[in-house]
Structure 1
């Protein structure tokens, strides 16, 4: 694939299809969107197979030239590769999930989703600071429209809240980017990642980026836009919001906050760990009392993304690898859970947990898929969720035993609210007539859920497939921040030689 501008093509295919959708009928728009997303998925598989593990950090680099204010420069490392693969994997599933659920303004809806795909891939592939900013911020627009036009009864409020929260934080980030470019004399991200910014300036730059990434994650207490957005968004909107858009914040920490401002990251680790610990416990408790399925899964997302932030700021190999694995696993499991909610919502048109019960009797295939995704969300060994959470908490333990202890309670609480949800929806007596009349998964719905189930099991059984592409990048990042890494309060002795016996102690054994 040498010389082939694969990243530009991956951006061009959905962009052209998005424009084309606006000039065709509803049914043609559906097929066009599906075809475009499948082409991008095939190109993504090409990226995956051609990526040279152990090769140069930046691969598939394209730099045709400058566009005035910014350079059109694309390229990926292991982190970007995995997140692009997550995006192109979920996109055709989102189009399939919208096939019959969306009936009004279908061409515009498909165009909005295709535009979202362009902007997500662009964000992960951009190697110029301002090109990244354009992709990062423009991603707001199609999701704002998807929630505001095709959402639920309270969609206008939710879309405005989503837009304002995520936009306000990013204004500070733009100011910081302008200062950094002026200081370093370049807007090239790989160069800036190795630039040593003055320690006194790092503090303010870190906070400016944090304001944007914390909202995107979202971290407590700026998470309140997420439950509203999820509840009002159409099913596919929730899938892509939870699956990929929340990961932009984690990617930002990996790409900017840690390598560019290592001293400030170390100095403010207490802030990240503190907010994350509160998020895990608080949002898990809030999830326990929800009666709306989407709200419950939305609050669980905040708790899971807090496990990501503690792993990233552990400053070690296990923590960062674990954080990336949690991001991938959460993208798959939470996306699948939202699809499961969409399946029964399409039949009964309610998300109230108390309206269901006994679905295992008349929807056994649905119950089986829902169980797998619930277990992945909890972090059962053998599913994708276990590997990431274990590594992330192990890495955090080396930095802060208290943060690790508090965040581990999130796993217990996670099991409580997810199993409580599953029991009330799937088990019990089948007594309601409208629930009795619900049919099991159709072939289309099985086709949407089966690929996610397969990847969740693949990640759980053989995580090396996903850890190998990023291992070199994690090592590079750890080496970059090693000089600033916090000392940590744990003193693990496993694998260390025992201290030599002193003369005094030696005499005791005579």
Structure 2
């Protein structure tokens, strides 16, 4: 099947949403996002039946750039994550009002289009174009519809834009060099290159500059907390739930197979830096007084562990990283939505100004508690499957990597449960907290249902992802 139909649907949705007017924009965007998810499920069905999901067409003659897209199990998992979360993120915004909402929702769909293209592209320059396109809508979403005064938003967003753009330029230079060697940007052709150790070193760290900022890995994380805090919750969900997965996916798809010897040589350093992010993010989260910033640093800790799993270069590490990408995407979107629900009622995100919600909203309390437990990888949730697999892979490399990486569970349990206690328990707050609406319930129940179902039965995702991971490992270990 021509996989470009999914991309065209998302792009058309963005255009139609923009032309629909402010009153209908949110509903049109939701309709197109649900349709895109349905198409993704259809692609999954065809893929499971053995059909090749790809498209190759001519684009630019000199240099030779193709419109090349292909979906294997890994890219399909990321596409399903993107198209599955997008309608939930749009639906979660129905409790908010946005000026020029047609522009807002058009940008959301355009961002989904760009991220989906990043996961499907198999031509290096085409991949780079989609990678950069995804940056444009989030820039405007955070700048125009963000929180706080305009000047502080501008500083945070401009810093993010410059950081990510600068890192991406290193990746572009790497692609230009690879094209000079291979005469092609096609992924399979780049896999076949026999690069020297010196060439692999520079290519590897050129990619690393782009991916470490996007993920982010410390010390390239300084943009994250401010942008997560200043962006509207929809923007924060898109960033944390999907966009950072572009960097993690790209490590597995592009960086490791193209420069495998460099990855093997610097494995201990890369794992060490990633785990340092786990510890740093957890410790800083302990000290946060703003609910959104606490969740931002919690996300930093979790993605550090995912990055460590990627750099183990083992089947368990790569598989576990993908499982945790998916689980983290759902749980962090749920947690940021819970923070938004609280802000809608109390108009504050300061933890010391909250409390007493449990006595007023039992349904919301129960769902928030499940999300908190999923975040700390309680057995029975899909987060446990991902974190356990990653920690097991780290123990195969060095037991101390697993010990220090495991601090994310211990420290995470402490700061998340402490946060829950301060926000939800205690004496009844003087402000009225209405329990969840129908739209809010749909979002929470869908996310929780996913985390619990695949926590108890992860086999479908495992069978989808593992063959693609094995193929990538075969390329990494070919020498």
TM-score by length of 1: 0.91
Does the alignment pair 1:49 with 2:45? yes
After TM superposition, give the deviation of residue 234 of structure 1 in Å.
Answer: 0.9
SS of structure 2 residue aligned to 1:219: coil
SS of structure 2 residue aligned to 1:218: coil
Preserved CA contact (<8 Å) 2:78 2:119: yes
Preserved CA contact (<8 Å) 1:147 1:158: no
Gaps of at least 5 residues in structure 2 are none
Equivalent of 1:282 in 280, 283, 292: 280
Equivalent of 2:53 in 38, 55, 60: 60
What CA distance in whole angstroms lies between the structure 2 residues aligned with 1:421 and 1:461? 27
Alignment of 1:317-336 (within 5 A): 317-336=315-334
Q: What do residues 236-276 of structure 1 show as CA deviations (whole Å, max 9, x unaligned)? A: 11111111001011111101111111100011112211211
Structure 1 residue aligned with 2:452? 457
Structure 2 residue aligned with 1:85? 80
What CA distance in whole angstroms lies between the structure 2 residues aligned with 1:420 and 1:324? 29
| Equivalenced residues, count | 474
Structure 2 residue aligned with 1:197? 195
SS of structure 1 residue aligned to 2:118: helix
Does the alignment pair 1:11 with 2:4? no
Structure 2 residue aligned with 1:248? 246
After TM superposition, give the deviation of residue 100 of structure 1 in Å.
Answer: 3.5
What CA distance in whole angstroms lies between the structure 2 residues aligned with 1:277 and 1:92? 33
Structure 1 residue aligned with 2:336? 338
SS of structure 1 residue aligned to 2:202: helix
Preserved CA contact (<8 Å) 1:71 1:128: yes
After TM superposition, give the deviation of residue 98 of structure 1 in Å.
Answer: 1.8
Structure showing greater Rg: 1
SS of structure 1 residue aligned to 2:477: helix
Equivalent of 2:387 in 366, 386, 389: 389
After TM superposition, give the deviation of residue 26 of structure 1 in Å.
Answer: 1.0
Structure 1 residue aligned with 2:139? 144
Preserved CA contact (<8 Å) 1:196 1:260: no
What CA distance in whole angstroms lies between the structure 2 residues aligned with 1:314 and 1:275? 13
Q: What do residues 273-322 of structure 1 show as CA deviations (whole Å, max 9, x unaligned)? A: 12112111111000001011110111011111111111111121111111
Structure 2 residue aligned with 1:29? 25
SS of structure 1 residue aligned to 2:301: helix
Does the alignment pair 1:125 with 2:123? no
What CA distance in whole angstroms lies between the structure 1 residues aligned with 2:92 and 2:448? 16
Does the alignment pair 1:20 with 2:16? yes
Q: Following TM superposition, where does structure 1 have runs of at least 4 consecutive aligned residues deviating by more than 4 angstroms?
A: none
Let me know the Cα RMSD of the aligned residues. 1.4
SS of structure 1 residue aligned to 2:192: coil
After TM superposition, give the deviation of residue 104 of structure 1 in Å.
Answer: 0.6
Structure 2 residue aligned with 1:379? 377
After TM superposition, give the deviation of residue 81 of structure 1 in Å.
Answer: 0.5
What CA distance in whole angstroms lies between the structure 1 residues aligned with 2:298 and 2:166? 24
Preserved CA contact (<8 Å) 1:97 1:235: no
Structure 2 residue aligned with 1:348? 346
Equivalent of 1:182 in 180, 183, 187: 180
SS of structure 1 residue aligned to 2:67: strand
What CA distance in whole angstroms lies between the structure 2 residues aligned with 1:191 and 1:464? 32
What CA distance in whole angstroms lies between the structure 1 residues aligned with 2:129 and 2:210? 14
Structure 1 residue aligned with 2:268? 270
After TM superposition, give the deviation of residue 483 of structure 1 in Å.
Answer: 6.0
Preserved CA contact (<8 Å) 1:273 1:310: yes
SS of structure 2 residue aligned to 1:71: strand
Preserved CA contact (<8 Å) 1:380 1:386: yes
Alignment of 1:410-449 (within 5 A): 410-430=408-428, 432-434=429-431, 437-449=432-444
